[in-house]
Amino acid sequence: MTEGWDFQVTMDNTYIVIMAGGSGTRFWPLSREAMPKQLLRIDGEETLIQQTIARVRPLIPTDHIHIVTNKSQADQIRYQVPELNRNNFIIEPAAKNTAAAIGLAAVYLNHHNADSVMGILPADHVVKNKEAFLDTMKCAFTAAREGYLITIGIKPVRPETGYGYIHAGEPLNPSTGIFYVDRFTEKPDIDTAKKYVADGRYFWNSGMFVWKTSVIISEIERHMPSLGAGLKEIRSAIGSSDESSVISRVFAGLESVSIDYGIMEKSDKVVVIQADLGWSDVGSWTALDDISPRDARGNVIAGNVVDVESRDSIIYASNRLVATAGLNDMVVVDTEDATLVCHKDRAQDVKKIVDELKKRGAEEHLTHRTVIRPWGSYTLLEKGDRYKIKRIEVNPGARLSFQMHYHRSEHWVVVSGTAKVRRGEEEFFVNPNESTYIPMETKHRLENPGRIPLQIIEVQNGEYLEEDDIVRFDDAYGRE
């Protein structure tokens, strides 16, 4: 192969596909089914998916960034990245693991541009060395144009037992740190992990890939013929009126296989680029030790915390007070409705807790008390027998859908800002310290016509008070 590639290549055919389908179990109680990890501010002011997009912006134009996600997460992601066009979202009709999701994205991009090269990035990782990341991606795109399947291998900085490793073989292009891949390994035990780190030719498998769409499609056809056939069927339906029904039907029949197992471990086109990115997959609460600043005792502490002499602990609070004394290697995470306390060694047991909550029919793994909406947010303050209390915050200029409820009436007390209310055929303003009432089955709309946030306390009364008792007649944000 060629040596000394020119990295100043054009990025015209280059695309980034961000994989945003995570279920968010491992960061419970901060993550929820409706608020998975990529949507959280775990590392700084931006959410992980916002950081992921910001990271690739210097590389390609925004309309070359696509997000693969599922229907239930798509809205939340759209609120966070309004700069992305609706067409740049690729919706999986069912969760069928990474091979199917990547194949779907590859077919769409290839249909649009037969010469396209795609970089695959998980939406919920942290990368501290942004320059090194850009250099690595440029190098990977160049190699991809040569027909390789590139995987990004992270130089291990500790004997991590939670990651798979890539054993690099002969160099492909020594000057750029690209190697053929000898083999992919399972998560090692601690002794094996130590050997890997000492060896110097083992890299963490980051889940970041780069390849030509045409190459990955033909490799899928070769190594995963059933998926390959499904993708062909999808391709032929793109643009037709059957498009979404065909995708749904094809996906329903697919096996759940990861791209690593389905392609990377089998293809002879695989190479690894070694990279030192300050990378973390933020796979559990203990990852904060790597990505967050620690105090003099080794603690990562955030929020309303009073601590007495704890050491090496992660203490994550919100507005509620968390008081700790004499903790060692503990994780304490407090949210409005749930608190997690575990030893760092048991951070993976969070999954067991979430499983138990599902079994109990509890709700604390599903949603947060505060739910973000395109027009603002609402916070559930209390839920009782036949009533529910919410604080509703409407952004300046925003308005909720014109809507109606069959099973509840609503009392609104304005505490700040000014509300414009449509109720049936009436339209009127409600000022701070004033209230109004929306009877059951009455069409209504709430709007903030002002320049400061509108805060309303809503008391709902009725026999059935779930979010799905809503009939929308008109919505500024395209919701049904």
Are 402 and 445 in contact by the 8 Å Cβ rule? The answer is yes
Cα 89 to Cα 65: distance, rounded to the nearest angstrom? 9
CB of 421 to a second copy, least distance (A): 15
CB of 228 to a second copy, least distance (A): 42
Does residue 392 interact with a second copy by CB under 8 A?
A: no
Token pair for 385: 């027998």
Does residue 446 interact with a second copy by CB under 8 A?
A: no
Cα 326 to Cα 293: distance, rounded to the nearest angstrom? 20
Does residue 384 interact with a second copy by CB under 8 A?
A: yes
Render the burial of 83-99: b for 16+ CB within 10 Å, e for the rest: ebeeebbbebbeebbbb
CB of 436 to a second copy, least distance (A): 10
Binders in 65-124 for a second copy, by CB under 8 A: none
Cα 68 to Cα 102: distance, rounded to the nearest angstrom? 8
Does residue 457 interact with a second copy by CB under 8 A?
A: yes
Neighbours of 429 (CB within 10 A): 14
CB of 204 to a second copy, least distance (A): 26
CB of 413 to a second copy, least distance (A): 4
Does residue 320 interact with a second copy by CB under 8 A?
A: yes
Task: Estimate to the nearest angstrom the gap between the alpha carbon of 399 and the chain centroid.
Answer: 26
From 88-96, 145-153, 230-238, 383-391, span contacting a second copy (CB under 8 A) = 383-391
Q: Are strands 202-212 and 126-127 parallel, antiparallel or unpaired?
A: unpaired
Cα 114 to Cα 120: distance, rounded to the nearest angstrom? 17
Does residue 406 interact with a second copy by CB under 8 A?
A: no
What phi and psi, each to the nearest 5 degrees, are found at residue 190?
Answer: -65, -40
Binders in 279-318 for a second copy, by CB under 8 A: 306, 308-309
From 134-142, 227-235, 336-344, 463-471, span contacting a second copy (CB under 8 A) = 336-344
Are 211 and 118 in contact by the 8 Å Cβ rule? The answer is yes
Does residue 238 interact with a second copy by CB under 8 A?
A: no
Kind and range of the H or E element at 190?
A: helix 190-199
Cα 472 to Cα 462: distance, rounded to the nearest angstrom? 19
Q: Which of 21, 22, 29, 177 binds a second copy (CB under 8 A)?
A: 29
Does residue 395 interact with a second copy by CB under 8 A?
A: no
Nearer to a second copy, 95 or 362 (CB): 362
CB of 381 to a second copy, least distance (A): 5
Q: Locate tokens 């037969």: which residue?
A: 114
From 13-21, 200-208, 380-388, 463-471, span contacting a second copy (CB under 8 A) = 380-388
Cα 16 to Cα 59: distance, rounded to the nearest angstrom? 9
Does residue 437 interact with a second copy by CB under 8 A?
A: yes
Q: Which of 100, 172, 338, 454 binds a second copy (CB under 8 A)?
A: 338
Q: What torsion do the CA atoms of 257, 259, 264, 269 make, to the nearest 10 degrees?
A: 130
Binders in 345-374 for a second copy, by CB under 8 A: 345-346, 349-350, 352-353, 356-357, 360, 362, 364
| Spatial CA neighbour of 298 closest among 330, 272, 261, 320 | 330
Residues that bind a second copy in the complex, under the rule CB under 8 A: 28-29, 306, 308-309, 320-328, 330, 332, 334, 337-343, 345-346, 349-350, 352-353, 356-357, 360, 362, 364, 381-382, 384-387, 389, 391, 409, 411, 413, 415-416, 432-433, 435, 437, 455, 457, 459, 461
